[in-house]
Structure 1
Amino acid sequence: MFRFVKPRSFATGLPCIMTALGLAGVATSASAAAQSEWKCPENFEPKAGLNVDFPSDGVDRAFVVVPPTDASGAAPVWVPMVGTVEATNWNLYRLPNGHNAALADAGYMVIAPVRECADQDPDLAAGRCNGPGHDGWNWNPWHEGRATTAQGDRWKTDAGPDVRFLEAMVRCVGTKWKLDRKRLYVGGISSGGTMTNRALLFDSSFWGGGMPISGEWYTTRDDGSSMSFQQAREFVADDPDKIFQGRVGPYPLPKKLDPMIVITVWGGKNDKWDCGPPIGLCSDYRPTTQAASNYFSAQSKIVHVACSADHGHMWPQVNTDAFNLWALETMASHPKGSNPSSFKLTKPPQGYRCKLGRFTDHY
């Protein structure tokens, strides 16, 4: 079982040592600062299971809490997100839809947000979540990328409600359970992978890292102007080493991010999304994962791991539980602020090809 052991002897003697050194006030300030990390909206108390009516950006939101089986010490956190056509509870409790709740047995606090379009229903799959976005957003399940219209310009600099909701949700859960502030990880598939990219780009000071699985980058020209789907594919294919701007994050992209670890996952040649007639193929995750890996791996304080497989456009299908645990152990082995040069990549489960740095198998 994967678990962190909190050292107790030093913590027990710390107040006496601090008092003897005349630093009790410093200890009090540090304690207050630690407590301020965790806070909830007024009169809201988190609980295990489904939490509803969580106010965020003027909307009532929902999330599911699966506490670690072994609750001793501060738990690392895993925030998994679904894509367009799967329900939150599927991703938590079913194979092959993710089975992420099982990570609680390995010592992780699992907190699964429910998409706003699902109206707090963790069992809603596609339905009204399947379709184009509104209010300047490109796609409906998550507020994860700005639209190509003038309405979308606002989201060049505004992180949006979902980025804020994800952070607020974790901070609230931390008021009831001990969470490891240096080991907060977010991830997701498809639109959830795109949302992961956005959260990491806009909120790198909060997250310890993340795992975007088949996420969009919504590649743009260097001036931030949009291109057609086919133009964007060709733009990346023609220069696969380039750092690409994208509608998934701020424009321009930050020159540097806070220290993190990022695992970008590509599902292979069949990792594509068909929007159906009359549009047809509308996303190809070969160029989008390439663009993401180029940017994250160019950041000096970020460890980037590029993972390829052959499962297509879905949550990793081969050895799912083993891959999930390997990915979380990999991220948790590099707590926020760690020196990138000290990171050691372990071998992934059978069915996955992972390496440090950017993807070099796409083109």
Structure 2
Amino acid sequence: MTNLHSFTGAPPPSSTKGKGRRPPRAVFPIAVPLIGVAVVLFIMALVFLKRRLRKSYVAMALETIADIFTAKSLQYSLTEIQIATNNFSVDNKIGEGGFGRVYKGVLGNGQEVAVKRLSRSSVQGAEEFKNEIVVVAKLQHRNLVRLLGFCLEGEEKILIYEFVPNKSLDYFLFDPENKRSLNWSRRYNIIGGIAKGLLYLHEDSRLRIVHRDLKASNILLDGNMSPKIADFGMAKICGVDQYEGNTNRIAGTVGYMAPEYMRRGQFSIKSDVFSFGVVILEIVTGKKNSSFHMMDRKVLYYFNKVWKHWRRGEPLALLDSSIGDSFAKNEVIQCVQLGLLCVEEYVSKRPTVASVVNMLNSSSVTLPTPHRPAVFRSHGSESIVEELEVEQSNTERISIPSSVNEASITEPYPR
């Protein structure tokens, strides 16, 4: 048979080469689409990341611009403040604390304000100061005193707050006549309001703020006798941005400070809980926590008295006599128990403010059993406590201020 390729002159096909070339012809069309898909996905991922980063940068830029405008809107001139306070007249002075003096003022639009003229101990720069003001001014809650603005000129650093008409809690609580306006219902509502304000500072705000100087004089009362926590965020404004840690510079008021803070300079949100426990007990008893030094041992007789009545099953005996017979027995017992739980020696045993709010809002919650207050554990047996209690009557005539210079000694510590 004649070979057809002999007429065409084409070489005969090689069966071996033909079989070897067929697989590449099949793989090549498949590999190209796969590579293309990978490239497309890679490009899409890059575009997505670029857009996401661009949005985040835009958001950050917008927030920065908004903060700049906010800072400008919050800033007052020194001349405006001097006019508002009659040049910081002594007649306008309404308070004084570790951070500075407070004056009542009236702005040009007729709004009454409280003007806090800060001491010059802050080492914070002007821009940092402005930034912290903007952040703290955004913290708004019905149980917090609202920061309205600031003044920053030369060495002057001034804060402008809303004016709260009914002064501070201690003005009513520890005055024989004024305390009569605080019936039990109002006192219970004040305790609940303070707890809600603290909860916002500790957990619900943009920042986590430890007050570090919570006391009756830092609780202001509005026209409805609702509480507003004052001086929150002061540590942050003056350059301390931690919410827990150690410090060699103790800030606070004797009698309200937690033992770990006084002894080792350790502070946290549980330090505020301890201070709140003291305030709760003061609201119940209508008596101020006083501190005495005896035999080189610090004894808080106030806690001793509360613990003694609780241990004997007589918590109602602690209630301020000016309240009379109009009170809810279960609420009084609950508050005494809460107060003792908050002043526990060990930080881990103290409840969080969230737990306190929950306990106050629910009658079905079972409260833990409190232990002897912290100050007595380090003194050994109860016989020592009882012995010192007998000697209390001989020392009650001694007047020792519960805080340095009769004022808060809250101060910023250097970074």
- TM-score for both structures, normalised by structure 2: 0.25
Higher helix share: 2
The structure with the largest strand share of the pair is: 1
> Over alpha carbons, which structure has the higher Rg?
2
- Normalised to the residue count of structure 1, the TM-score between the two structures is 0.28
